[in-house]
Each structure stands twice: as structure tokens, then as C-alpha cells.
Amino acid sequence: MYAVKRQMVMAAVGAMVMLVSSICFGSGIPDRITINSIQKYYDGVDFNHAAHINNLKDCGLCHHHTTGAQVSDPNCVRCHKNSGAQAVVSCKGCHSSTPFSPEELKRQKDQHPPIYHMDKVGLKGAYHLGCVGCHQKMGAPTGCEDCHKRNDSGNGIFHSGTYAPKTPGKAKSSHH
């Protein structure tokens, strides 16, 4: 009797969780994603995918046409009106982490047909333009360290934190 009751409670809890983020659990969509493939001066981002799904509902806002969502950009509609869900949906699956390497510049130039995806931003640009652009509109945090903490080599290159100039403020007088 007690065991049955416990099972019922667990089932109810399970059902509630399913309802809250049914899309995520339904098709293996990750709830949290650690974005760290290009981290250098900042730590990786612990991205709450589920919260963004629940807030935005529309996958296409970030994933363009790749999840099979309806696209509204007239330039995309020309090919991707009914192109359906793609095998690759991750940002780094399409956006290059080295968009300006000689190989990548050549690849972009040689692609067929040559008129589409010509001006595709790199991975870092895709993350920041997508995230910061939306965060500005939504009134969400937009500071660098609101999403990722700057690490030691980052402080080094920015001459900040423990690497801060010894006599700050002296700058003003040396203006020519």
C-alpha cells in the first residue's frame, strides 16, 4: 500500500516535470549546455537551454531553419521554407570558430551556389550577436561577466584585476 502511494507520487512528480519542459525531455534536447569550445580569455558559459526554450518558445530565433521552425527572413525563405529539421542544429555545427582563416575564406568563396551564406558570422560572432542582441531587446543582462567570468589570461591581456596598472589615473596628463 505504502509502496503504491510512493509510486503514484513519483509518477505525479514525473508528469509535472514532463509538463514544465515537455519539449526538452521529449526529443533529447539538452536542458543545460556548457559553451566552452572557443574559451580563451573567459571561462565557458553554463547555458540554461531549458529556461530559454520556455521563455522564447520559438526555436528559430536562435537556430534559424535548422530545427524545422518556420523562418520569416525573406532571404532564408527562398530555400528554407519547407526544408525541415536538419541533422546538425548546434551553433558550432555551421558557424566556424576560425571564420577568417585562409581555408575558410576560400571555402566561403568557392561554395556553390555562391550567393547564399556568404556573409555568415563566425562562431564567436554568432554567440555574441545572437545572445547580446536579444538580451538588449529583452532587458536581460548584457555585461561580459554577466555570462562568463574573465579568467587569469583574460585579466592579463586586459591589464585588469591583479594585472592592473600600478598607478591608475596617471593617464589623464599624457594626452597629446
Partner 1 sequence: MIDRRDFLKGCLACSVTAASISVVGKDAFAAGSFEGYPDAMGVLVDLTRCVGCRSCEAACNNEQKLPDPDLPFDDQSVFKEERRTTDKAYTVVNKYEIADKDTLFRKMQCNHCNEPACLTSCFVNAYTKTKEGAVIYNSKVCVGCRNCMIACPFNIPAYSYSSPTNPLIKKCIFCYDTRLKNGRPPACVEICPQQVMTFGHRSDLLAIGHERIKNDPAKYVNKVYGEKEVGGTSWMYLSSVDFDKVGLDNHMQNEPIISNVKDFLGMVPMVLSIWPALFTGIHLLATKNKGEHGDHDHEEGDQQ
Among 21, 86, 142, 151, binds partner 1 (CB under 8 A): 142
Q: How far is the CB of 24 from partner 1 (least distance, A)?
A: 28
Among 44, 52, 99, 134, binds partner 1 (CB under 8 A): 99
Among 37, 129, 138, 152, binds partner 1 (CB under 8 A): 129
What are the C-alpha distances in Å from 121 to residues 48, 91, 108? 23, 11, 11
Q: Which stretch binds partner 1 (CB under 8 A): 15-23, 45-53, 81-89, 159-167?
A: 159-167
Cα-based angle 67, 95, 29 (whole degrees, multiple of 5): 35
CA distance 54 to 66: 19
Q: Which stretch binds partner 1 (CB under 8 A): 3-11, 63-71, 85-93, 97-105?
A: 97-105
Which residues between 57 and 96 bind partner 1 (CB under 8 A)?
A: 75
Q: Which stretch binds partner 1 (CB under 8 A): 4-12, 76-84, 86-94, 126-134?
A: 126-134
Three-class DSSP category at 85? strand
- Residue 29, C-beta contacts closer than 8 angstroms, at least 6 positions apart: 23, 49, 53
User: How many residues comprise the chain?
Assistant: 176
Give the helix/strand (H/E) hosting 32. strand 32-35
Binding site for partner 1 (CB under 8 A): 41, 75, 99-102, 105, 109, 118-119, 121-122, 124-125, 127-129, 132, 142, 144, 157-160, 163-165, 168-171, 174-176
